[in-house]
Amino acid sequence: MKLYIIPTPIGNLEDITLRAIRILKEVDLILAEDTRKSGILLKHLGIEKRMFAHHQHNEHKTVEMISERIANGEKIALITDAGTPGISDPGFLLIRECIAKGIEVECLPGATAFVPALVNSGLPCDSFCFEGFLPQKKGRQTKIKSLVNEHRTIVFYESPHRLVKALDQFIEFFGADRKASVSRELTKMFEENKRGTLQELADYFKTKTIKGEIVIVVEGNKKKHAEESDDE
């Protein structure tokens, strides 16, 4: 009895490990965020396996049932549409429930969007903070304001239609000259990694039709970091 957390490709279908493929073939059931999208991946991998929809709209209702099935001897794998479950995707509630019940949880290494975006940004990645998606409305500015003095590199996820809004808000609170990077369509045919100041990035993307999932990497507050180093 075990729950396997299995990362899946964020774009390029070759970005899945041999171990992940083997386990997906061996488990009794695959939990998928969207069974239609996951069905395309499984077909590509030559895997025929039962799937069950497990997503943000039903996970509160299904974690008990799923954990009981694992406790009764089933091996179940959790995947999402793309990337690592639990990272801005469903997974945390089920993992927590399984741990509380003494069920073994095994998370495989694999694809996730923020790591290549961070490394490719050219900004310091020895120390960083991952903020995921900002609140869409209530609390959005409050959250950004709380990061003004953050000296580590900051990583955000954002949707295409809110990218320019996010960049404009970052300019307002972080300053137009703060360095940043925007990664779009990672691992896909039209992958784009654009670097510059927040103002340069905002000006650039205001002239573009933006598609694909977005990772924004923002330089930390260097002045704040210098002050803290002086205090030490």
For the chain, give the number of residues. 232
| Section 100-106 average pLDDT | 97
Paired strand residues for 29: 76
Which tens digit of pLDDT belongs to each residue from 113-135?
A: 999 999 999 999 999 999 999 99
C-alpha 91/C-alpha 106 separation (Å) is 12
| Section 203-215 average pLDDT | 96
Q: Is the pLDDT of residue 229 over 80?
A: no
**179-184 and 128-133 strand pairing:** unpaired
Query: How far, CA to CA in Å, does 77 sit from each of 16, 22, 42, 93?
Result: 14, 11, 13, 14
Which tens digit of pLDDT belongs to each residue from 49-81?
A: 999 999 999 999 999 999 999 999 999 999 999
* Architecture of the CATH domain 114-230: 2-Layer Sandwich (3.30)
In the β-sheet with 153-158, what is the strand arrangement from edge to edge? 128-133, 153-158, 214-218, 179-184, 192-197
Q: Is the pLDDT of residue 225 over 80?
A: no
pLDDT at 202: 98
Domain boundaries, the chain: 2-107, 114-230
CATH class for the domain made up of 2-107: alpha beta
C-alpha 217/C-alpha 185 separation (Å) is 15
What is the residue-averaged pLDDT of the chain? Answer: 95
